[in-house]
Amino acid sequence: MSTSGKEPVAVVGIGQTKHVAARHDVSIAGLVREAAARALADAELTWADIDAVVIGKAPDFFEGVMMPELYLADALGAVGKPMLRVHTAGSVGGSTALVASNLVAARVHRTVLTLAFEKQSESNAMWGLSLPVPFQQPLLAGAGGFFAPHVRAYMRRTGAPDAVGSLVAYKDRRNALKNPYAHLHEHGITLEKVQASPMLWDPIRYSETCPSSDGACAMVLTDRAGAARSPRPPAWLHGGAMRSEPTLFAGKDFVSPQAGKDCAADVYRQAGITDPRREIDAVEMYVPFSWYEPMWLENLGFAEEGEGWKLTEAGVTELDGDLPVNPSGGVLSTNPIGASGMIRFAEAALQVRGQAGEHQIPDARRALGHAYGGGAQFFAMWLVGAEEPGR
């Protein structure tokens, strides 16, 4: 596939913090530093090798630090270098990585550090998302109340049986046990426990919701020459795209937003993928509530409309299925909001580098990273491969 004169982009360093409910031992600077230092160590590079820094996080209200990137410049070795902040709500970790990759692809910079973080314990995201705007009717439900009606709409549209959501949660929580960086490590998890957990926002159960985490994720992206020096196998970018649409508009399809379909189609076109179900070996998709797995399977073209839940039910998306989804445990097991998208992108890269450890999919050659946010408003995706594109 031609990359039409663009510089090939490679992921040569990946670093994450151990995601937990609260990192009281570090400042925000200390948190991002930890992930960045691990990414540099993975790439065997130093701060001096980095030409620019691209950082992302969720809305400033989430921690109450206005423009935190200003204060993080020294922690990230950005002094004297360009530093950019990207902001696309929950999808920000994905779009941040794509902005960084574009700087390399366009030959603006040769080696870029990209990082996303959230220290949710310093605030309350639900408060940050529901400011009491005068004259407006308050939202009558909690966080899950926004999503649960869309899940019910999906169930009605497809006839999916009630148990599918619990299957996803059971799978992702078991996968997380194989990922040392995952937040939730629920030893002794069983399907019965998931199904017995309280129904919070019917049809969403407690065990089918994501946790609130403190964490950061960083990647070092570089050009072909940088990849040649990489001490470990790089992940190559085969396609990346972002799409947006309004949060609410007449005709919006919350179950399968058009922007998500268009974004996936663009990525597949760039990567020369015609049959994503067969040609993609692993998927890290943004599933904050378990039912979003079957919904996104359809939205991303892995299943026909109405058929996504059948893949989940048949075990296709299990770690040993033929289309493993969220081998890392996903957002259901780890959710530092601003970082969650980048963790998806990084975990996809780990798979094709063969470096995913216990949750490695054998011989993964192509993997998709997916992020969305802002009430299904922003979409960001990338497809990475073990081989340089066009080779």
Query: Does residue 246 come out as left (phi exceeding 0), alpha (psi in the -120 to 50 range) or beta?
Result: beta
Show Cβ contacts of residue 249 under 8 Å, excluding neighbours closer than 6 positions. Answer: none
Sign of the CA dihedral with 35 first, then 144, 323, and 94 last: negative
**What 3-state class would DSSP assign to 296?**
helix
Residue 79 as a binder of other proteins (CB under 8 A): the answer is yes
Quick check: 18 binds other proteins (CB under 8 A)? Answer: no
Return d(Cα 302, Cα 316) in angstroms, integer. Answer: 11
Give the span between the Cα atoms of 101 and 227, in whole angstroms: 13
Q: How far is CA 273 from CA 184, 269, 279, 353, 391, in A?
A: 34, 6, 7, 19, 15
Neighbours of 27 (CB within 10 A): 14
Query: Judged by CB under 8 A, which of 3, 6, 29, 178 binds other proteins?
Result: 29
Q: Which is nearer to other proteins, 44 or 388 (CB)?
A: 44
CA distances for 282 relative to 62, 185, 268, 366, angstroms: 31, 21, 14, 7
Residues binding other proteins: number (CB under 8 A): 65
Query: Which of residues 87 and 152 has its CB atom nearest to other proteins in the complex?
Result: 152
Among residues 134 and 188, whose Cβ is nearest to other proteins? Answer: 134
Of the candidates 3, 6, 59, 141, which one interacts with other proteins according to CB under 8 A? 141
Min dist. Cβ of residue 107 to other proteins (A)? 25
Q: State yes or no: cis peptide before 132, omega within 30 of 0.
A: no
Comparing CB distances to other proteins, the nearer of 200 and 323 is 200
The 238-277 site mask, x for binding other proteins (CB under 8 A), equals --------x-xxxxx-xx----------------------
The residue type at 67: M
The one among 108, 199, 225, 228 contacting other proteins by CB under 8 A: 199
The piece of 144-152, 288-296, 314-322, 351-359 that touches other proteins (CB under 8 A) is 144-152
Among positions 156, 190, 225, 390, the unique one binding other proteins when judged by CB under 8 A: 156
163 sits near other proteins (criterion: CB under 8 A): no
Q: Which of 140, 188, 274, 320 binds other proteins (CB under 8 A)?
A: 140
One residue of 3, 6, 27, 279 binding other proteins per CB under 8 A: 27
**What's 8's DSSP letter?**
P
Nearest approach in angstroms of CB 226 to other proteins is 19
Closest CA to 82 of 97, 69, 93: 69
Greatest CA separation found in the chain?
59
The contact mask relative to other proteins for 57-76 (x = CB under 8 A, - = no) is: ----x-xxx-------xxxx
Binding site for other proteins (CB under 8 A): 22-27, 29-30, 33, 47, 61, 63-65, 73-77, 79, 119, 121-124, 126-128, 131-142, 144-145, 148-153, 156-157, 198-204, 246, 248-252, 254-255
